[in-house]
């Protein structure tokens, strides 16, 4: 049995697929949401979920929450005398969900599809996979939360073609994903996000207002238990806004009560900095997808924090469109993960969907820049596969020697968005030998090929000798053997043909060259501009741009043929 799990910052859910569609599995208390909280008592007994949440009010030093934000890091969470990583704490939550599912279904659960924020990097995704394995689950598939939500919406609520913007604001993370659904293909166009922005931050705003209004309270002298009490009351105030314009909270410290009323207007004004942070990934994703707001058909809200009235109004105002909340924002990701689990099991009752994804981070290498006067500067980043490029993909960049008699070139394999190489993550390194020659006379082609299984092949070809150097950067998410990887990259060899060398593009260029040779005057200039425009498109190696320009050039050349 394969289940779908939404491992959330604040709450987690588990779901399975039935003939009637995906269903949420209630936990042992009969609740659909399981708080992502872990507690350990003096007898080393673990408590997960609602019980741990209650213990947090009484024994906060024995509890941990919001640890998903630190997934993949070495941060230690102290629970009494014991210490745990976010990965280990997450495994406890996953094991609890697994046991609840087995009790509900009456059968053993061995495998799961687990969701993660779209902007989780490789390290965080690997940690999530390991957490699942520690919980006794086989985790073949990690799915992005917005993609899971889009599956839940796209397969059952869409007729024809539709472009979605998934606005996923959970307890601790924020993701924006733009997807294009055209049955049966669900194509991810762009992802962006903030791993440290979520509902918890909207609660923190209320806490800050409380301390600002009650300056006599020394925040630093409060015990952990007292801080948890204030946080709990702030959370209640936030939730109780509902459709009202006023909410209140009462905090009791040392037998003294502190009452605070807060208007929705004042609260939203205090949240402006958070809204500004939300705008950044939204703009980034639209720019990367090369889309305007007016081209988005549906804005889908996902994540518990999107239930806040202020957030919904902000989204409606920003997009000038009412967002879609037809699926419970708390449950959409888990339901989508369950559908993906059914797809994996090839459940006959499910509508088949083909998922395409994007590379969430730019992949490139370090280069030296010529400053002139025989001066060079290293540490510059040369992107080869840009973020949000549809995968699988292959891109090639040509590099040259900079010194006379240079015999070595170092190719550093990097991941990140900084213009400086040192600020990006190093994934690997290749040392390439080249023949001695004058500066700039020797060159190498650096080809990056990135697969849907998060495997990167780096192939370097020395132009003068044809000698090749190769390295595979394997993501630990994949269970593929070395032999399977080799076979996969053989299948993708067609991608390594540069667009300028692909037959259909060469044919168009030849037609254009022939037409140019047969023309005169202004016609020649016009033909030349059209060919240059297409050649520039070919240099981008971007499939979308090339297809658009190829269509325009073909129509232009066909029109000439129709004249004569």
List of residues 6+ apart from 303 with CB closer than 8 A: 145, 168, 169, 170, 171, 198, 199, 329, 330, 333
Q: Are 397 and 446 in contact (CB under 8 A)?
A: yes
Identify the burial level of 377 via C-beta atoms within 10 angstroms of its C-beta, where 0-12 means exposed, 13-18 middle and 19 or more buried: exposed
- How far apart are the C-alpha atoms of 461 and 396, rounded to whole Å? 10
Q: Name residue 197's beta-bridge partners.
A: none
- How far apart are the C-alpha atoms of 248 and 38, rounded to whole Å? 29
Q: Are 166 and 176 in contact (CB under 8 A)?
A: yes
- How far apart are the C-alpha atoms of 354 and 186, rounded to whole Å? 6
List of residues 6+ apart from 227 with CB closer than 8 A: 60
Identify the burial level of 112 via C-beta atoms within 10 angstroms of its C-beta, where 0-12 means exposed, 13-18 middle and 19 or more buried: buried
Q: Are strands 2-6 and 111-116 parallel, antiparallel or unpaired?
A: parallel
Residues taking part in catalysis: 6, 68, 145, 168
Identify the burial level of 26 via C-beta atoms within 10 angstroms of its C-beta, where 0-12 means exposed, 13-18 middle and 19 or more buried: middle
372 Ramachandran zone, left/alpha/beta (phi>0; psi -120 to 50): left
The kind and range of the H/E element at 192 are strand 185-194
Identify the burial level of 45 via C-beta atoms within 10 angstroms of its C-beta, where 0-12 means exposed, 13-18 middle and 19 or more buried: exposed
- How far apart are the C-alpha atoms of 281 and 198, rounded to whole Å? 13
Largest CA distance in the chain: 96
Q: Are 392 and 451 in contact (CB under 8 A)?
A: yes
Residue (of 312, 298, 31) closest to 169 by Cα position: 312
Q: Are 251 and 210 in contact (CB under 8 A)?
A: yes
Q: Are 454 and 441 in contact (CB under 8 A)?
A: no
Q: Are strands 408-415 and 425-433 parallel, antiparallel or unpaired?
A: antiparallel
Q: Are 94 and 131 in contact (CB under 8 A)?
A: yes
Q: CA quadruple 233, 235, 236, 237: dihedral positive or negative? A: positive
**Strand, helix or coil for residue 520:** coil
b/e sequence 455-473, b meaning 16+ C-beta within 10 Å: bbbbbbbbeeeeeebeeeb
Query: Which DSSP string do the residues of 461-500 spell out, in sequence order?
Result: EETTT--EEEEEEE-TT----HHHHHHHHHHGGGGGS-GG
R_g over Cα of the chain: 27
């Amino acid at each position: 049995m394969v289940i779908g799990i939404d491992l959330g910052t604040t709450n987690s859910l588990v779901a399975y697929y039935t003939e009637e569609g995906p269903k949420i599995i209630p936990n042992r208390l009969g609740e659909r949401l399981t708080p992502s909280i872990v507690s350990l008592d003096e007898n080393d007994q673990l408590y997960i979920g609602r019980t741990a949440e209650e213990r947090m009010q009484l024994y906060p030093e024995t509890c941990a929450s919001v640890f998903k934000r630190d997934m993949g890091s070495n941060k230690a969470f102290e629970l009494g005398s014991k210490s745990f990583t976010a990965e280990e704490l997450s495994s406890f939550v996953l094991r609890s969900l697994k046991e609840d599912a087995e009790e509900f279904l009456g059968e053993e659960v061995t495998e799961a599809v687990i969701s993660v924020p779209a902007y989780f990097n490789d390290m965080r995704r690997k940690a999530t996979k390991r957490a699942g394995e520690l919980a006794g689950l086989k985790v073949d598939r990690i799915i992005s939360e917005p993609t899971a939500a889009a599956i839940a919406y796209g397969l059952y609520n869409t007729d024809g073609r539709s472009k979605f913007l998934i606005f996923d604001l959970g307890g601790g993370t924020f993701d924006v994903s733009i997807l294009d659904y055209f049955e049966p293909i669900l194509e991810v166009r762009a992802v962006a996000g903030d791993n440290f922005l979520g509902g918890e931050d909207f609660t923190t705003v209320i806490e800050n207002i409380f301390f600002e209004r009650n300056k006599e309270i020394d925040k630093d002298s409060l015990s952990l238990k007292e801080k948890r009490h204030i946080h709990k009351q702030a959370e209640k105030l936030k939730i109780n806004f509902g459709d009202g314009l006023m909410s209140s909270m009462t905090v009791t410290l040392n037998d003294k009560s502190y009452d605070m009323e807060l208007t929705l207007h004042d609260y939203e004004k205090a949240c402006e900095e958070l809204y500004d942070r939300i705008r950044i990934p939204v703009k980034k994703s639209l720019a990367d997808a090369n889309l305007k707001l007016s081209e988005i058909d549906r804005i889908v809200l996902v994540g518990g924090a999107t239930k806040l009235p202020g957030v919904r109004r902000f989204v409606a105002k920003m997009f000038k469109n009412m967002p879609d909340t037809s699926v419970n924002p708390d449950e959409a990701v888990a339901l989508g993960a369950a559908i993906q689990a059914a797809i994996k099991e090839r459940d006959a009752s499910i509508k088949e969907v083909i998922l395409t994804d994007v590379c969430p981070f730019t992949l490139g290498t370090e280069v030296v820049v010529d400053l002139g006067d025989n001066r060079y500067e290293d540490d510059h980043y040369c992107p080869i596969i840009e973020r949000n490029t549809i995968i699988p993909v292959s891109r090639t960049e040509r590099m040259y020697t900079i010194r006379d008699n240079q015999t070595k070139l170092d190719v550093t394999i990097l991941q990140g968005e900084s213009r400086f190489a040192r600020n990006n993550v190093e994934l690997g390194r290749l040392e390439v030998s080249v023949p001695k020659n004058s500066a700039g006379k020797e060159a190498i082609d650096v080809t990056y090929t990135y697969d849907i299984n998060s495997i990167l092949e780096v192939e370097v070809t020395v132009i003068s000798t044809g000698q090749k150097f190769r390295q595979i950067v394997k993501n630990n998410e994949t269970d593929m053997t070395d032999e399977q990887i080799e076979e996969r990259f053989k299948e993708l060899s067609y991608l390594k043909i540069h667009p300028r060398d692909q037959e259909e593009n060469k044919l168009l260029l030849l037609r254009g060259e022939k037409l140019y040779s047969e023309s005169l005057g202004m016609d020649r200039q016009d033909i030349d501009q059209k060919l240059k425009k297409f050649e520039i498109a070919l240099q981008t190696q971007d499939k979308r741009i090339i297809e658009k320009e190829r269509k325009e050039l073909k129509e232009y050349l066909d029109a000439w043929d129709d004249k004569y």
